[in-house]
Structure 1
Amino acid sequence: MPEWLRAMVGQADKGIESLRTFQVKDAKSPDLGGVRDGFDLLNPHSTAALIQYGACGLASPSSKFYKSKDLLADMDLAALYLVKTQHPDGTIDLLSTNFHSTPDTGFLVKRLTMSYKLIRQSGTEGTEKMLANLKTFLLRAGDALSVGGIHTPNHRWVVSAALTKLNELWPNPKYMARAEQWLGEHIDIDRDGQFNEKSTFIYSSLTDRLLITIGKGLNKPELFDAVRKNLDMTMYYVHPNGEIVTDASGRQDKAIVGTLENYYYPYRYFAIKDGNGQYAAICKLIEKTAGLKTAGFLDYFLTDPSLWVELPTEKPVPVDYVKTFPNSGLVRIRRDRRDSTLIANNPVWFTFMKGNAVLQGVRFASSFFGKGQFQSEKIGENGKEWVLTQKLDGPYFQPYPKESIAPDGDWEKMPRTFRPQSEVQLLETKVMIRETSGGMEIEVVTNGTERVPAAMELIFRPGGTLKGVSKIENTKDAWLLKEATGSYELGGDTITFGPGLALHKNIALRGALPAMEAPTVFLTGFTPFRHVIRFS
C-alpha cells in the first residue's frame, strides 16, 4: 500500500473514531445503532458513513481498526438501524429535504456496495451476520432503485451507478434495464465540458466518479469521454492556491470556497489509464492543497488496487491563459499566481485572487426604484475589454381604464400591466473590464436618470488586513475608500486597489442585496456614475 494511501487510511481512522462517539449504544433505545449528525439528528447518512469508513478500517492493515471485532459489532448495529428505518418501498429519507427518496438511497447504496466487498475481503471474524443484515438493506434498496424517480440531472447517474454496483454483487436483469433506461437520456454535458448543474465543487466531480463506475461496470467506455471533457475543462477552473471556481454553479455550492479533493479519484483514474501527465500534475496539486480531504474517497482506492501504481510523469497544467466558457457565462483570466473570474447572470460579477489574498466579489448597485442591483445577462467581448450591461426602467402609472375599474375598488383586480405609463425613468449601467500589465481594471459608467445614489462593493475574504480605508461608523466590517489606494494583505500576499470615491455613506441602498459577512470596502457616488478602479 503506497504512502499516500496509508495517509488516507490514517485520516479515515479519525473519521471512524468520531462517528462512533455519535452512535446510540443504549440497548433499550429504539434508536440503537443509529448515528447522530452535527445537528443531533439520527439519520441514515451518518449511520451509513460509519459502515463506509469502518469497512475501510477493517480492510486496511495499517489501520488501528484492522479486523476489529468491536468495530464490526458497531457496524452491525448500524446495519440493523438502516434496515429498521428503511421504508417498506426500500427508500430512506434525507431529513434535511427529501423523504422516501430514491436518489438518496442511491447515494448510500453506491458506497455501501463497496463497503460490502471490503468487509467480505477483510477476513474479520464474524462478518457473516453483519453482511447478512447489510445485504437485506441493499437488496430492498435495489427494489426501490429499479422503479423510483429522481429530482436532478446527476440523480440519474447516482441511481445507475448504484444499480451497476448491486448488479456486480447480485446480478439482476431489472437493475440493468433501469440503468439503461436512464442512460438512454444521454449525458448532460455542454460544449464547454460542463454538466447541466454547473456545480464545480459538488456535482460535476460526483458525475465524473459515477460515470467511471457505470462505464467500468457496464463495459461502456464511451461514457469516459464526458469525464475526460469535464476534467480538461476543470483545469481552467483552478485558482492559484488550489481552490476551484464555484461562482457559476447552479446548485448549493455556488460561490463557496472549495478545494479539489472531490476530483482526486477521476484525475488519478485517467492519469493512470491514459498516461496523462497533466492529470498527474493535478493529482499532485490536490495532494498538496487538499490531501487530507481525499480520505472521504478511500473506498474507491481500496477496491481498485490498479490505482496504487505510480502516477505518470507530470506535465505542466495551464497557468497562463484567457479562457471563455460561454455556456456557463464565465471568463477565466489567469497569470500564474494571479487570476480573475468574470461572471454573467450574477450580482457578483468579478473576482480577483493574488496568491492567498482574495477579492471574493465585486458588486454594484443603485437605489433606482428598488431594483438597481447590477447584473448582466451576458459578457460581451469588445477588443481587449469585456463588457457587461444592464438597462432598467422606472415608470409611473396613470389612472386605470374607466371601463375596467373594479366595482369594489379592489387594487389587486386592477393590475398595473393595464395602466398607461408616464414619467418613465431610464438607467443604463455598463461595466468594462480590462487586463492591465499588473492586474485588472474595472470601469463603471451609467447613463440616464441623474442623482441616483450608487455604491460599488469590494468584498474581501475574512482573515486579512485592510489598509488605506476608513471604517464606516456603526457597521461591523464596512469601509470607505475615499481617494487614493487601499490594500488587503493575507498570508504574505497583497492586493492593492484604487483610486477611491466616497461621495456619501449610504451603503444599504434600497433594492440592493444585504452586505455579506466579510470585510467590504465601498466606493460611493451618484449617477451619472463614472469611475475606474484598478487591482494589482
Structure 2
Amino acid sequence: MNRRTFVKLSTAALCACPAVGAVALQHAISPKPEWLQKLIQVNDQRLKALQAYRVADEKSPAFGGFLDGTDIPNPHSTVGFIRTAICALVSEESEFYKSKQIKTETEQALTYLLKIQHADGTLDLLSTNFHSTPDTGFIVKWTAPLHTLLRQADAVFFEPTLGLLQTFLKRAGESLIVGGIHTPNHRWVVSAALGALYQLWPDVRYAQRAEQWLAEHIDMDEDGQYNERSTYIYSPLTNRVLITIARTLNKPELYEYVRKNLAMTLYYIHPNGEVVTEASGRQDKAAVGNMDGYYYAYRYMALRDSDGTFAAMCREIEQTVLDKVAGHLSYFLEDQTLWRELPAAKKLPVNYVRTFPRSGLVRIRRNEWDATLISNNPVWLTFHKGNAILQGMRVAASFFGKGQFETETITQQGTDWLMTRRLEGPYYQPLSKEKIRDDGDWEKMPRSGRKQSEVQVMTTTIVIRERGNGLEIDLKLEGTDGVPVALELIFREGTFKGVQSLGTGKEVFLLPDNSTGTCTVGSHTLTFGPGRAAHKAVQLRGALPAMNAPTVYLTGFTPFIHTLRIS
C-alpha cells in the first residue's frame, strides 16, 4: 500500500470517531470523568485479586503466567492480568501507576505468553480449541490497545514492555492473516484484531484479510439481532468489534448494524436491569445476564449520534452494574473522546408489547413487571417483577416419553397469544411377510415399515393474555384421557407462602387446589394461582429433569383445563 492510500485511510478512520477536530482535542486533554476514575479504582481491586493466581516459582515452566480456577496456567488468565496491570500502570489515578513491581510482573507474564505462543503465532484455549486463530484474535483485540496506552503514557519507561508486547502481536498477526474460524462472531473478532494491528503497523495484508471476512456480510436479521442471538455474550461483543473495525479500517457503514442492535436491545431489558437471554443460541441461553457488556457501544453511539435514548441506557448501566464495566477499561483509556459528557437523556421504553419473530420471542413490559413468551423452548414463559423472578414455566405430560411441551410458533389472536403442540403415540402391527428378516434383527426392521394402530393423541393449547397487573394463562391438555400432567413454576429464589412442601429436602412445592401462592424477594412479591394438586408425581417420564431452583408444581390428569394468573 502506498503512503497516499494509507494517509487517506488513516484520516478517514480518525473522522469516524465520535468526535473530531478542536472539540475532540479539547476534551482529550480534560481530566478523567468520575465514572472513569471509579473504573480505575475497581481495576485496582481486580489487580490485587489476580495476584493469587500468579505462578511465582521461578523454577516452574509456567513462571510469570496465571492460573485459572482449576490451577491450570493458560494464556487467557495471563492476558487477563496483563490487561488489568497495564490499565493500572498507565493511569495516574491508580495506586499502581508506574509501579516497578507490577511492570516487572507484566513483563514476566508477556514472556510466558511468548513462550506458549505456537510457531504459527496462535494460542490455545485449553478447554476446547488448540492452535486457535479465533482465540488468538480475541487476545489480540484485548492487547493491541495496550500497546497504544503504553506508548502514549511513557514509551521510554515502558520500552521493555512494549518490545515484548510488539513481538507477541506481530507473531499473532501472521496467524490472523491465514487462519480459520468456527462461529459467526469469530469473523468479526478476527477482523477487529486485524484492524487494530493495521492501525499500529499498516501492513496491507491485515486489511486485505479483514476484507475477505467482511465480504460475507454482517449476519443481522430483520429484528436487529445477530445470528447467534447471544444477548449476554456475543451480541455486545459483536457491537464492540464492529465499532473497532469501523474505526480502524474506515468502515462507517458498520455503525448501522450496531445502531440497530442497540435499538432492539432496549426492548430486551428486565425491570431490574438484566437482559433477556432465553432465545440465545450459545452458552448464555437462559443465563442471568447484565448489561455491562453493552456500555461501550451505547456510549460510543450516543456520542456519535447525539442519541438521548442511548445516553439514558448508559446512565442506567452506570447506576446498576458500573463496576462490571471495568473489564473493558482499556477501551475508555485508549479513546479519550469517550470522556465527553453524554447528550441529554430521553426516556427508556418501559411500557410496550414487542414481537421478535426471527428470535421467536414476544416481549411484554408494563413498567415494574415484564414477561417473555418463547417459542422452540421447553421454557415458554418468564415473568419478572423487580427481583421476584419466575425464571421459567414448563408443562409436561407422561405421554409416551415425549410429553414435554414446547411450541414452534407464537400466534397473536387479538390481545391473546396462542401456543400449540400436537403429539401422537401410536402402536405398531406385525411386519408384512416380505419385510421380515431371517435373522430377526429388530434394528434392521424399522417401525416405519409397520402399520400403526391405536394411535393416541395429545393436544396442548396455551393462551396467554394480559389481565390487571399481570398475565392470565389458559392451559388445555386433552386428547387421551387420564394422562398425568405437571406444570412447573421455576423461581430464582424467594420466600414462599401458600404452597405445600413435598418434603424432598429441596425447595419443591405443590400449590394446593384453589390456593394462591406468593414469592417474595426483598420488597417485591410475585403472586400466582389458583392452584391444583391432584397428585405428587412431579418428575414425569419423558419430562426434562427438575431444575436446581425453587419450583412450585400444579398437577392433574388429562383433560387438564386450568387458568393460572400471575401478578
TM-score by structure 1 length?
Answer: 0.99
Q: What's the CA shift string for 1:296-347, capped at 9, x where partnerless?
A: 0100000001010111110001000000000000000000011110000000
Q: Partner of 1:238 in structure 2?
A: 269
Residues 202-221 of structure 1 aligned to structure 2 (within 5 Å): 202-221=233-252
Please state whether the residue corresponding to 2:478 is helix, strand or coil: strand
Please give the alpha-carbon distance, in whole angstroms, between the structure 1 residues aligned to 2:265 and 2:511: 35
1:418 to 449, 459, 472: 449
User: AA paired with 2:264?
Assistant: M
* Identity rate, percent: 58
Please give the alpha-carbon distance, in whole angstroms, between the structure 2 residues aligned to 1:25 and 1:126: 24
Shift of 1:125: 5.9
The answer (yes or no) to whether the contact 1:480–1:522 under 8 Å persists in 2 is yes
Shift of 1:475: 4.5
Q: What's the CA shift string for 1:16-42, capped at 9, x where partnerless?
A: 112222111211111111100112111
Q: Partner of 2:506 in structure 1?
A: 476
Q: Partner of 1:84 in structure 2?
A: 115
Please give the alpha-carbon distance, in whole angstroms, between the structure 1 residues aligned to 2:138 and 2:241: 10
1:408 to 439, 442, 460: 439
Please give the alpha-carbon distance, in whole angstroms, between the structure 2 residues aligned to 1:415 and 1:41: 48
Q: Partner of 1:452 in structure 2?
A: 483
Please state whether the residue corresponding to 2:553 is helix, strand or coil: strand
Please state whether the residue corresponding to 2:87 is helix, strand or coil: helix
Please give the alpha-carbon distance, in whole angstroms, between the structure 1 residues aligned to 2:317 and 2:75: 30
Q: What's the CA shift string for 1:442-467, capped at 9, x where partnerless?
A: 111122111000010001112x1000
Gaps of 5+ in 2: 1-31
Residues 266-281 of structure 1 aligned to structure 2 (within 5 Å): 266-281=297-312
Please give the alpha-carbon distance, in whole angstroms, between the structure 2 residues aligned to 1:315 and 1:473: 51
Please give the alpha-carbon distance, in whole angstroms, between the structure 1 residues aligned to 2:44 and 2:150: 15
Please give the alpha-carbon distance, in whole angstroms, between the structure 2 residues aligned to 1:18 and 1:493: 34
Shift of 1:384: 1.0
Please give the alpha-carbon distance, in whole angstroms, between the structure 1 residues aligned to 2:204 and 2:278: 42
Please give the alpha-carbon distance, in whole angstroms, between the structure 1 residues aligned to 2:150 and 2:77: 18
Please give the alpha-carbon distance, in whole angstroms, between the structure 1 residues aligned to 2:536 and 2:505: 11
Shift of 1:472: 0.6
Please give the alpha-carbon distance, in whole angstroms, between the structure 2 residues aligned to 1:147 and 1:361: 44
2:179 to 128, 148, 164: 148
Q: Partner of 1:169 in structure 2?
A: 200
User: AA paired with 1:476?
Assistant: K
The answer (yes or no) to whether the contact 1:391–1:429 under 8 Å persists in 2 is yes
Shift of 1:126: 4.2
Please give the alpha-carbon distance, in whole angstroms, between the structure 1 residues aligned to 2:263 and 2:559: 43
The answer (yes or no) to whether the contact 1:243–1:257 under 8 Å persists in 2 is yes
2:468 to 437, 444, 453: 437
Please give the alpha-carbon distance, in whole angstroms, between the structure 2 residues aligned to 1:432 and 1:314: 38
Please give the alpha-carbon distance, in whole angstroms, between the structure 1 residues aligned to 2:252 and 2:277: 29
Shift of 1:150: 0.6
Q: Partner of 1:511 in structure 2?
A: 542
Q: Partner of 2:5 in structure 1?
A: none
Please give the alpha-carbon distance, in whole angstroms, between the structure 1 residues aligned to 2:223 and 2:275: 16
Please give the alpha-carbon distance, in whole angstroms, between the structure 2 residues aligned to 1:496 and 1:18: 41
Q: Partner of 2:6 in structure 1?
A: none
Residues 133-532 of structure 1 aligned to structure 2 (within 5 Å): 133-462=164-493, 464-483=494-513, 484-532=515-563
Shift of 1:400: 2.2
Please give the alpha-carbon distance, in whole angstroms, between the structure 2 residues aligned to 1:146 and 1:124: 28
Please say which of residues 128-137 and 270-279 is displaced more in the overlay. Answer: 128-137
The answer (yes or no) to whether the contact 1:444–1:531 under 8 Å persists in 2 is yes
Q: Partner of 1:67 in structure 2?
A: 98
Shift of 1:282: 0.4
Aligned-pair RMSD on alpha carbons? 1.0
User: AA paired with 1:379?
Assistant: I
User: AA paired with 1:302?
Assistant: L
Please give the alpha-carbon distance, in whole angstroms, between the structure 1 residues aligned to 2:34 and 2:503: 54
Shift of 1:124: 7.1
Shift of 1:279: 0.6
Please give the alpha-carbon distance, in whole angstroms, between the structure 2 residues aligned to 1:218 and 1:309: 24
The answer (yes or no) to whether the contact 1:69–1:125 under 8 Å persists in 2 is no
Please state whether the residue corresponding to 2:412 is helix, strand or coil: strand
Q: Partner of 1:51 in structure 2?
A: 82
Please state whether the residue corresponding to 1:146 is helix, strand or coil: helix
Please give the alpha-carbon distance, in whole angstroms, between the structure 2 residues aligned to 1:307 and 1:481: 52
Please give the alpha-carbon distance, in whole angstroms, between the structure 2 residues aligned to 1:124 and 1:155: 32
Please give the alpha-carbon distance, in whole angstroms, between the structure 2 residues aligned to 1:184 and 1:307: 30
Please state whether the residue corresponding to 1:533 is helix, strand or coil: strand
Please give the alpha-carbon distance, in whole angstroms, between the structure 1 residues aligned to 2:77 and 2:255: 31
User: AA paired with 1:192?
Assistant: D
Please state whether the residue corresponding to 1:39 is helix, strand or coil: coil
Gaps of 5+ in 1: none
Q: What's the CA shift string for 1:345-371, capped at 9, x where partnerless?
A: 000000111112111110000000000
Please say which of residues 452-461 and 134-143 is displaced more in the overlay. Answer: 134-143
The answer (yes or no) to whether the contact 1:248–1:254 under 8 Å persists in 2 is yes
User: AA paired with 1:113?
Assistant: A
Please give the alpha-carbon distance, in whole angstroms, between the structure 1 residues aligned to 2:220 and 2:336: 30
User: AA paired with 2:181?
Assistant: I
Please state whether the residue corresponding to 1:99 is helix, strand or coil: strand
User: AA paired with 1:122?
Assistant: A
Q: Partner of 2:15 in structure 1?
A: none
Q: What's the CA shift string for 1:83-115, capped at 9, x where partnerless?
A: 111111111111111111110000000010011
Please give the alpha-carbon distance, in whole angstroms, between the structure 1 residues aligned to 2:542 and 2:120: 47
User: AA paired with 1:160?
Assistant: S
TM-score by structure 2 length?
Answer: 0.93
Please state whether the residue corresponding to 2:315 is helix, strand or coil: helix
